Structures are given as structure tokens and as C-alpha cells.
Structure 1
Amino acid sequence: MLEAGINVLSSGPVFLQYPTDVVDDGLVQPLRDSAAAGGASLFVNGVDPGFANDALPLVLTGVSERIEELRCLEILNYNTYNQPMVLFDIMGFGRPMDEVPMILQPGVLTTAWGSVVRQLAAGLGVELDSVEEWYERRAAPDTFLVDAGTIEVGTAAALHFEVRGLHGGRPVIVLEHVTRLRDDLAPEWPQPAGHGCYRVTVRGEPNYTLDLQLLGSDGDHNTAGLKATAMRLVNSVPAVVEAPPGLLTALDLPPVYGRGLVR
């Protein structure tokens, strides 16, 4: 499609949000070559949704005097996320606690979300020493149902992970997910604002905490997250069309507004 001159916007693969130092350049260069040949562009937004991990945190840092740590969190209950393959096979929910799911295999978290950390570092002009991953899980205290199926007692029911960008021997940029299948699980973990939120914290001078709550017209926060991911792509089409050919990141595009959306 790129070689044919067709601009492409996509939510994945997520490592293409900002592939530098995340995946081998041999995987990315053919896309750059195709874009150059066709005079087209590729923009990958991510699925968190993307703006919560690039536009929001970077704008917030613009009113800082000093930054010691920038942290982006997703704190959500996935009980209405009716995607059994994602929940069970990829994330490992409903599986035995001694079974390591795909998402927690060594290197997967840093491949999937390392692009978020690297892109924020680039936006702040920080050269990272390394990127590391960490996680913990909690088991279901009893059997219960979610939209995707049954979570048996003793199986994985909550997941908490971090992807940390280190500079000077300490984390300076952190992507953190707190994913529960029931609100009462792991009460000691970070708690959301409202029914679920994306949170940006800037520790430094001053200290900031920004909570973004999402809720669809159907009353479901998961519906809102999916729609936000899609609409960031749709509303970015004019900017991508106007951009120079190549593999674009959020750092290459101007702010995207809801122009023409007022009804």
C-alpha cells in the first residue's frame, strides 16, 4: 500500500509507534523504503489509547520546571472486554498462576510498550541507559464471570506491570498498567479515578497528577477506550496526508484537534 502511494494509519503493531532502539532496524527499513518509493506515510498510534501515552504526558511536561520522573498509567477493570483470546491466551487471565502467558514472556513487555517509553524520552530529549520490565499478579479468591468467560478460583485475575526507562541508574520514564477483572482485587495497587482512568504523574517541580476518565455512551469505559483509539487515528488523517513521506510518530505530527466535530 505504501509503495502504491496510499497513506496508512493503524493502531498496531505497537512497536511501530516509535521503533528506534525497540526493534531491529532491518524490520523497519523496508517500510521506510516503501514509503519513500510511494511518497506515502505510515502512522501507528498504539492501543492504550495512544494519546494517553504521548500527547497528554508531553503537554503536561511543558509546564514543568524540573522533571524527576514521568509516569503514565492505565488503571482499568477489563471485565467487560469481551476478547477471550486477548484476556486468556495473551494476558493469561483465568490461567494457572504458574503458567507464564505470552505478554509476560521475557522481552515482550519491553517490545510492546518500550516504544512508549522511548518516544517520551525522545520528546524530552533524554537518552536512556536501558529499558527494563517488571510485573506481579494476583489470583482470583473465588470463581466469577466476566464477559469473556469464567475466571476460576486460584487462576490469574489481576495484572500489574511496569516498563521503566532508566537514566543515571534510576527510572525516569515509566509506563504502568494496573488491570483487574474485579474492582476489589489487589486493593493495595493504584486505584482509578471513577470507573477507570488513564493517569499521568510528573514528579519534580511542581508535582502534577492528571486523571483522564473515559465512559462510552453505553456506560462502559472499555467501549470508550476502544473508540478513543480509533478516533485518534481517524482525526489524524489530514495531518498524516500533509506530512512528508515516511514512518511517522506522534512527535512528527502537529496537535490533532476535533475540527469539524461539533454538532
Structure 2
Amino acid sequence: MSCHHSVDSWEMVGYGLPVGDPSIPALLEKGTRVFADGVYLMADCFGLELDDVTFSYELGACTEDIDLGWYRLPKGSLGANYLKYQGIVGGVPKVEVHVEWQMTPKTEPHWNVKGCYITKIQGDPCVYSKHMVIPKPGTDFTDPAAFASVGMTVTGLPALNAIRSVIDAPPGILTSADLPLRGFAGRFK
């Protein structure tokens, strides 16, 4: 996440504060609550009625002063986190979203952040899918704005892909479970 140059965004979720600061959990939950939406979305698509969605976290403290060039994190401050939103049915987690963020690998604890989206389905058969979103060939990686634009584009794609289906839909409320999977329909000529 050290490529997302927005000090205000990171301070809003507690980065830079001493890892023991009691305000960090509430800041993290408020600033990442959008990831709970993914739990609700998947549960809806699976036809699951959730009893609750829970939030849990682990915090990584910087083991030394960190200078990212655009942001400084003092030793002992929040430099990484591992978050989990779990959709609970009958006391059992059924749908989970895990979020690993790190500004630096120099934290304790330290997570081996994968830098991608991972989908795991535990069933028969089990499925493990690793999805990487990377810039197009020739992207200037020295320009943080060019690199960051990849994440912004990916964030907007579900809404863009839904436009045709929403226009063609009858009046009423739709959820993602009501929309067809379009994939790359009409993208190749």
C-alpha cells in the first residue's frame, strides 16, 4: 500500500499512530467497513442469510523509523495490518474477506503480503484462485499516479460493467446477484 500516496487516507485509519493507541481499532473498522460489503455481496450471491458480520484485526508495529519519501512512520507506529470481516451463520464463519495492508515489511508481526486477490473455496472440489491486477505493458512505474490509476480503474469496473444490464432491467431494485456475468463480452473485435 506504500504506492498509494495519500497521507490523509492512511492517517484516517490509524497509520502513524503508536500501535497501542486505543483509537486504532475503531479507525480501522470505520475506514475499511466497505470490505464488509464484499461479505454481504458474496452471501447474497450464495443465497446465505447472515446472522452477523464481524470485524477482527491484527496490527503490525514498525520495527524502525520508516521514510517512504512521501510519508514518515515512527518506530512503534502502525505500519501494517491484517483485517478480517466474517459473515456468520449459526455461529460459524461462512464467508470471509481478509485484507492485508503494509507500508513496509519492517513490522512486528510481519505478514507475507501477496499483492493480489485470492479466492479460496473450501468444498468439493476446493478452489484456490490468485488474481493479479497489473498495469498495461509500458506503464511508467516511476509515476505513482500511473500505478495508482490501475486500482482506481479496477474499483470502477463493476459499475461500468453493470450499466447495460441496469438499463435493460425492469423497474425495481437489483443486486449483484441479479446481474449476469458479462466478463469480456463485446470487448474483442
User: TM range, normalised to the smaller chain?
Assistant: 0.7 to 0.9
Counterpart residue number, 2:20: 98
C-alpha distance after superposition, 1:28-52 (max 9, x if no partner): xxxxxxxxxxxxxxxxxxxxxxxxx
Identity %: 23
Structure having greater relative contact order (Cα 8 Å, sep ≥ 6): 1
Q: Which amino acid aligns with 2:47?
A: G
Q: 1:207 aligns with which of 126, 132, 142?
A: 126
C-alpha distance after superposition, 1:192-242 (max 9, x if no partner): 1xxx10000011222211000111133476442221112332233222211
Q: Which amino acid aligns with 2:4?
A: Y
**Aligned counterparts of 1:250 and 1:186: Cα–Cα separation in 2:** 38
Q: Does 1:233 pair with 2:156?
A: no
Unaligned runs of 5+ in 1: 1-77
**Aligned counterparts of 1:186 and 1:261: Cα–Cα separation in 2:** 45
**Aligned counterparts of 1:109 and 1:128: Cα–Cα separation in 2:** 22
**Could you tell me how far 1:98 is from its partner in structure 2?**
2.9
Contact kept, 8 Å, 1:199 with 1:211, in 2: the verdict is yes
**Aligned counterparts of 2:174 and 2:27: Cα–Cα separation in 1:** 26
Cα–Cα, structure 1 residues 203 and 150, in superposed 2: closer, same or farther, change >3 Å?
A: same
Cα–Cα, structure 1 residues 241 and 189, in superposed 2: closer, same or farther, change >3 Å?
A: same
Q: Calculate the TM-score normalised by the size of structure 2.
A: 0.81
How many residues are paired up?
180
**Aligned counterparts of 2:32 and 2:182: Cα–Cα separation in 1:** 27
Q: Does 1:126 pair with 2:48?
A: yes
1:84-163 paired onto structure 2 within 5 Å: 84-89=7-12, 91-99=13-21, 100-101=23-24, 102-104=26-28, 108=30, 111-146=33-68, 148-163=70-85
Deviates more, 1:215-224 or 1:150-159: 215-224
- SS of the residue corresponding to residue 205 of structure 1 reads coil
Q: Calculate the TM-score normalised by the size of structure 1.
A: 0.60
Counterpart residue number, 2:3: 80
Contact kept, 8 Å, 1:134 with 1:162, in 2: the verdict is yes
1:29-108 paired onto structure 2 within 5 Å: 78-89=1-12, 91-99=13-21, 100-101=23-24, 102-104=26-28, 108=30
RMSD of Structure 2 on Structure 1 (CA): 2.6
**Could you tell me how far 1:190 is from its partner in structure 2?**
5.0
